[in-house]
Chain A
């Protein structure tokens, strides 16, 4: 255990590993490409970053207003989307080829729209750094035609908790502010139950803690061979054949297996190999 930490050394506090705690207790062990996530859906910390309104955790749609919000903001929920903050766009146009080898052009989603929102964490990083506690110009646009725009000056909420010390001095603590997310807010948009995510959405994007490809070795042709982590009944002697995700394939764990017996069904993997 360290002997002392400067109150201003917020890095040391953020990364502090308490006596007896394994590394998996640290924020540095939790995935943040949350879609929706494993330990928490970190997107939720951005919902209340602009005082007065509530944003969708994923999209740029305004989904609510806070209790004491000024009346003009009440027009926004579900009808308007946030487009820019202090001139910084929070969206991008999706481009690519519509046919293989074709030119890169704006391409539409299922609603014939070529615009996507950027994830809050990166889109608002500079705004948060420069304007925390200050007002910023927020530009909103209607989601449905006719096109209309609105501008409001909204204050950027402090992300980290501020406390008043004896003597009246304010200090920043390394904890996410209470006003940013109520109890339960960080995990609210995770799958329900969480085991559902291990099967439903082909989420191979958190492989470091939710493995995908295990017992990997080089095959005879120089390409790798191995098992799907979700493959049932595998032993060290099992063929190294990756069974592609398919809800109908009986060789893979089912929702029922995960809901009822996840502790038995899911294996710990160490050095890429089944450890049990």
Chain B
């Protein structure tokens, strides 16, 4: 009996590519914790190698140590996307394979892909529609490389910006899953030299005309629309001390984000479709470390709310230990003494922002003797080692709540995470869900430790 596909998903739902100009994408690896307070170990993992000419794929495990650069440049991180499907009469999603397609009377070329990505950085500043850089790869089912050539109405004739490429991977007997790959661009900056300029400054204002003043008080019409922080583009300061403006140099990069869509028409049933998001950003230059507050934490909060409902378990304990570890990894790579300085010099941290933005008295946030990278890293290590003896209680009590970010008192600025800036420009708070989870796990300490044992 012929089966029917009734639901599709693309996993992961949000995949991050990382720029690099090497033709050989980065190998796969695992981050393994061998020492509870030491750095994560980068261990080679099964990698999928794609023949870009044919779209065919094979697997291999690279040898250690992995190389993040080669003679061409940085190796881009090019994520795969997998299609998962649910069949009529089944309750679970499973990887869509050639066999599953066959059961539904379909073939790999029954699968159709569409990709829409854009770079709206210029548009975000100028608000001119003709400054949008975008591409829309119309439905295809072949296994060729499709280049994401970003087009823009304000570009010179026939000029485009490469935003990367995509490819529908040819399934095989050994790797029969339906998968797709996004390879981000090389990290090129356009407009540095006349030869690689793409922007037509006779049509648009981005090159040499668009400007932002040194402050954001431009009146209601414009100042309130600027990005915050403002002047977040390459340019040259022009004008005097009082009317200095940053005039755009007109540079354009090749980052982007957008959608990958998959669509399959059942032989006799309905059309099923799904989409995922892709984005490209710079490499993770310390690949064995993870940030303390991540897009993953935001998505979890958006999905499940600011509180952890019900009784916390060993699962939440593990997640909290991971948050403390991420805090430690961040602290290890920050010059705490410098970031604690009560100084208006560039290179200082939140104390400078507090005074420049809010006229707070200029002074270090912590006693200089405690704001020391090695000492702070050690304190986090002690929390990690002492989880079983209740060290999380100290950590939980030190956390800043989301509505305390505006408390610039001495005590307020010493809350955790310390010395860091949040997305509102104030002192960083973790997500409410992270804070709630840490506090609940700390409170349930003894019970959880015995559960873990």
Known contacts A14-B13, A165-B6, A166-B270; decide if A21 and B28 are in contact (CB<8 Å): yes
A207 CA to B334 CA in the complex, in Å?
6
Interface residues of A in 21-40 (CB under 8 A from B): 21-40
Given A78-B221, A263-B20: A187 in contact with B374 (beta carbons within 8 A): no
CB distance from A94 to the nearest CB of B (A): 4
Bound Cα distance from A272 to B11, whole angstroms: 32
Choose among B277, B304, B349 the residue that contacts A202 (Cβ–Cβ < 8 A).
Answer: B349
Q: Is the CB of B28 within 8 A of A63?
A: no
Contact at B294–A29, with CB atoms within 8 Å?
Answer: yes
A202 engages B348 (CB within 8 Å): yes
Q: What's the nearest-Cβ distance from chain A to residue B241, in Å?
A: 16
The complex places the Cα of A271 from the Cα of B329 at a distance, in Å, of: 9
Contact B233 A244 (CB under 8 A): no
**Interface SS, A side:** loop
Do B354 and A96 have beta carbons less than 8 Å apart?
yes
Indicate whether A208 sits within 8 Å of B286 (C-beta atoms), given known contacts A13-B13, A31-B291: yes
Q: Are B361 and A23 in contact (CB under 8 A)?
A: no
In the complex, B431 has a CB within 8 A of chain A? yes
Known: A96-B354, A193-B252, A268-B68. Is A21-B80 also a contact (CB below 8 A)?
A: yes
Q: Is the CB of A27 within 8 A of B296?
A: yes
Q: Is A149 an interface residue (CB 8 A)?
A: no
Contact between chains at A209 and B347 (CB < 8 Å): no
Contact with B along A158-194 (1 / 0, CB 8 A): 0111010110000101111010001111111111111
Given the known interface contacts A160-B303, A204-B335, A272-B332, the answer about A183 and B291 at a Cβ–Cβ threshold of 8 Å is no
- CB-nearest residue of chain A to B410: A97
Q: Is the CB of B361 within 8 A of A268?
A: no
Q: Which residue of A lies closest to B116 (CB)?
A: A183
Q: Please tell me which one of the listed residues A20, A56, A57, A119 contacts residue B28 in the complex, with CB atoms under 8 A apart.
A: A20
Residue of A126, A260, A270 near B287 (CB, 8 A) is: A270
Could you say which residues of chain B place their CB within 8 Å of the CB of A187?
119-121, 255-257, 279-281
- A245 near B346: Cβ-Cβ < 8 Å: yes
Tell me if B313 counts as interface (CB < 8 A to partner A): no
What 0/1 pattern do residues 350 to 373 of B give for CB contact below 8 A with A?
A: 001010011111110000000011
Kindly identify which residue among A29, A109, A117, A202 contacts B16, using a CB–CB cutoff of 8 Å: A29
Given the complex of chains A and B, what is the CA–CA distance between A212 and B285 in angstroms? Answer: 11
Q: Is the CB of B225 within 8 A of A78?
A: yes
Query: Can you name 15 extra interface pairs (CB under 8 A) apart from A21-B15, A56-B228, A224-B373?
Result: A4-B94, A6-B92, A11-B304, A13-B13, A56-B225, A97-B409, A98-B359, A110-B217, A123-B402, A159-B303, A184-B257, A187-B256, A187-B280, A208-B330, A212-B333
